Amino acid sequence: MKKILVFGDSIAWGAFDCDYGGWVERLKIKYLKTYKKEGLGVYNLSISSNNTKRCYL
C-alpha cells in the first residue's frame, strides 16, 4: 500500500473550507476514486492553528 502523508498548518488541515475540508481532503477524494484498487492512502497529519512563526531550527 502506498501512502501520502501531509504535514502542515491550518491551511493544509482544511480550516474554513466547509465544502470539502481543505486541499488534502480534495486530494484524497480524487486519488481514492482513481487509485482505489492499488490501495493508495492519503493521511492528513496537519495541525490547525499552527504556522511557520512557531518553527524553530
Residue 17 inside a domain? The answer is: yes
Domain containing 11: what range? Answer: 3-49
Q: What is the pLDDT of residue 35?
A: 77
Q: What is the pLDDT of residue 22?
A: 85
Question: What does DSSP assign to residue 14?
Answer: T
Q: What is the mean pLDDT of residues 28-55?
A: 76
Q: What is the pLDDT of residue 54?
A: 57
Which one has a higher pLDDT value, 3 or 54? 3
Mention every residue, 6+ apart, whose C-beta is less than 8 A from residue 13. 22, 24, 44, 46, 47, 48
Residue 55 inside a domain? The answer is: no
Residue 39: pLDDT above 70?
yes
Residue 56 inside a domain? The answer is: no
Residue 45 inside a domain? The answer is: yes
The CA distance from 24 to 4, in Å, is 10
Which one has a higher pLDDT value, 11 or 27? 27
Q: What is the mean pLDDT of residues 14-24?
A: 82
Query: For the chain, what is the domain count?
Result: 1
Tell me if 12 sits within 8 A of 6, measured CB to CB. Answer: yes
Residue 21 inside a domain? The answer is: yes
Residue 40 inside a domain? The answer is: yes
